[in-house]
């Protein structure tokens, strides 16, 4: 007799096959049978509900979540059982005191000299769901060269050695964040060298490209060239056509992805189902502003001549990539989420500038708080829908820890996709939608035992009501609980039962090649 049977639901295997009515049997941490008339020590009637693999988030920033005091079920409430973190070029390790500002760790957090040390610490702290971790190019580069543009004489060798250590410890790949410093200073050859290390370990290259706006075509070409040269799997992070000047460019983006795949590059991508993104305000500026560190940034922005010169760089249409995303923005489209001055948080850049100049207002904000962050409304619904419908696109949250000011994607990405876009707008059939949140990502990150339902798969399962699933959160109130996810199993543990978290930290820190 099986330990647990989910009885009578519509079962989706995660590969895009239409659902069928069946029972799902689980023993221990494995799914052991799918069929009719199965019996178990415990039976849960899921008639009328969808039974799917646990969702896999390809683009998460949950690196520090294990170290929060309490268990954190905010992803389980969405049906997510596994997250890929260490994205956009930033991972929690390797690090030292000089690099602490450029990891996801906050002030006062322990630093991890090695990537393996971070994995061990996260495992000891306990994860509420599974984490598979990438090593960040920015994090590696800060260790080798700080915020300097050029690597030291032996810098390339040290960079690659640190990457090797991370892969040996269990990294699933490496990520880049080429709109951020110091990754923005790296040439394509540096990225290829790191991708060759990933290739030797069967890892994946995930990239936040140099531009998602006017330089989008060139940035895509570079990402594809890196993957082609190294023969590595490529994941293009949070696909978008950002800024009014490039609305409609989703056609070009998807064509480049398809043509690359047809030519032999193993490329896929991910997207979050929102028209606004969230990041640091410093990323709006040309990367040269930050070269050398925070003190240099403040000095440059306080100098009227340098402030004017950087504005000219940022606004020159001849500069396609590597100049920040000032040209993507309109001051009314930028809402400040995080700032040390509480009177500023929650206001738009236009409101902050008042009758003054928005560029000067932005520079003044960053002098006061270089860590300021905001939400940027820059995408068009037509592009969001077109990208979402493409079979090469998976769904990812780009969400971080569930604390402080936040974006609704942290709490609602997967229910919003399955509710508003799949059920309400019919962007893709439900079976294809489930593939996009399960096997499409698991395959790309070599998670062979997750992202599908069948005998032998790990018993990570999401049971949801397709007629109800959604997230009521907004940009003003993002941290509301989703609705419609009824049960979630994580390695055979029933962690969400009748919509409620059952407690405990039953996740695992997965290690590539050993999970």
Q: Could you list the beta-strand ranges (E) of 190-316.
A: 204-208, 233-236, 267-271, 276-280
| Arithmetic mean of pLDDT, 238-254 | 95
**pLDDT (tens digit, 9 = 90+) per residue, 18-46?**
999 999 999 999 999 999 999 999 999 99
Confidence of residue 325 (pLDDT cuts 50, 70, 90): confident
- pLDDT at position 108 is 47
Give the total residue count for the chain.
515
Confidence (pTM):
0.93
The full 3-state SS of 444-484, as one line of letters, equals: HCCCCCCCCCCCCCECCEEEECCCCCECCCCCCCCCCCCEC
CA atoms within a 13 Å half-sphere pointing along the CA-CB vector of 289? 32
How large a percentage of the chain has pLDDT more than 90?
Answer: 85
Residue spans of alpha helices (H) in 93-239: 115-125, 137-145, 155-169, 188-200, 216-230
99 pLDDT more than 70: no
SS3 267: strand
Provide the token pair at 103.
């990891």
| Mean pLDDT of the chain, nearest integer | 94
- pLDDT at position 402 is 96
Give the highest mean pLDDT range of 284-293, 336-345, 423-432: 423-432
What are the structural domains of the chain? 1-87+245-275+379-504 (2.30.40.10), 282-374 (no CATH)
**pLDDT (tens digit, 9 = 90+) per residue, 263-309?**
999 999 999 999 999 888 998 998 889 888 889 999 999 999 999 99
């Amino acid at each position: 007799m099986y330990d647990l049977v989910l009885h009578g639901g519509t079962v989706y295997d995660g590969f895009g096959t239409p659902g069928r009515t069946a029972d799902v049997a689980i023993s221990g941490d494995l799914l052991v049978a799918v069929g009719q008339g199965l019996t178990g020590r415990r039976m849960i009637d899921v008639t009328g509900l969808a039974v799917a693999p646990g969702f896999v988030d390809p683009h998460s920033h949950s690196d520090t979540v294990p170290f929060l005091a309490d268990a954190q079920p905010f992803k389980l409430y969405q049906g997510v059982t596994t997250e890929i973190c260490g994205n956009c070029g930033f991972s929690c390790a390797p690090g030292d005191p000089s690099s602490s500002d450029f990891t996801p760790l906050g002030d006062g957090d322990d630093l991890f000299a090695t990537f393996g040390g971070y994995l061990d610490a996260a495992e000891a702290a306990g994860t509420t769901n599974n984490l598979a971790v990438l090593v960040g190019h920015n994090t590696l580069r800060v260790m080798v060269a700080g915020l300097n543009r050029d690597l030291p004489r032996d810098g390339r060798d040290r960079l690659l050695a640190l990457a090797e250590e991370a892969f040996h410890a269990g990294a699933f790949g490496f990520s880049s964040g080429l709109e951020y410093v110091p990754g923005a200073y790296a040439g394509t050859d540096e990225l290829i060298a790191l991708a060759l290390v990933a290739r030797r370990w069967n890892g994946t290259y995930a990239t936040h490209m140099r531009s998602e706006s006017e330089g989008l075509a060139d940035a895509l070409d570079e990402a594809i060239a890196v993957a082609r040269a190294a023969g590595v799997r490529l994941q293009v992070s949070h696909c978008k056509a950002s800024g009014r000047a490039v609305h409609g460019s989703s056609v070009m983006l998807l064509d480049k992805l398809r043509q690359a795949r047809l030519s032999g590059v193993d490329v896929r991508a991910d997207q979050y189902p929102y028209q606004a993104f969230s990041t640091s305000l410093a990323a709006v500026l040309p990367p040269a502003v930050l070269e050398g560190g925070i003190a240099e940034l403040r000095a440059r922005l306080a100098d009227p001549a340098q402030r004017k010169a950087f504005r000219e760089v940022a606004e020159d249409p001849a500069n396609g990539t590597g100049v920040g995303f000032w040209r993507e923005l309109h001051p009314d489209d930028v809402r400040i989420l995080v700032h040390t001055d509480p009177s500023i948080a929650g206001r738009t850049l236009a409101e902050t500038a008042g009758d003054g100049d928005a560029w000067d207002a932005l520079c003044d904000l960053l002098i006061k708080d270089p860590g300021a962050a905001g939400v940027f409304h820059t995408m068009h619904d037509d592009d969001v829908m077109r990208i979402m419908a493409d079979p090469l696109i998976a769904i990812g949250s780009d969400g971080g820890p569930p604390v402080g000011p936040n974006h609704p994607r942290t709490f609602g990405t997967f229910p919003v996709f399955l509710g508003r876009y799949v059920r309400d707008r019919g962007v893709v059939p439900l079976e294809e939608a489930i593939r996009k949140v399960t096997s499409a990502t698991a395959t790309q990150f070599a998670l062979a035992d997750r992202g599908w339902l069948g005998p032998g798969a790990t018993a990570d399962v999401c049971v949801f009501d397709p007629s109800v699933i959604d997230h009521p959160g907004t940009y003003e109130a993002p941290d509301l609980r989703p609705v419609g996810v009824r049960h979630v199993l994580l390695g055979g543990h029933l962690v969400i039962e009748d919509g409620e978290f059952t407690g405990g930290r039953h996740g695992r820190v997965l290690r590539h090649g050993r999970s």
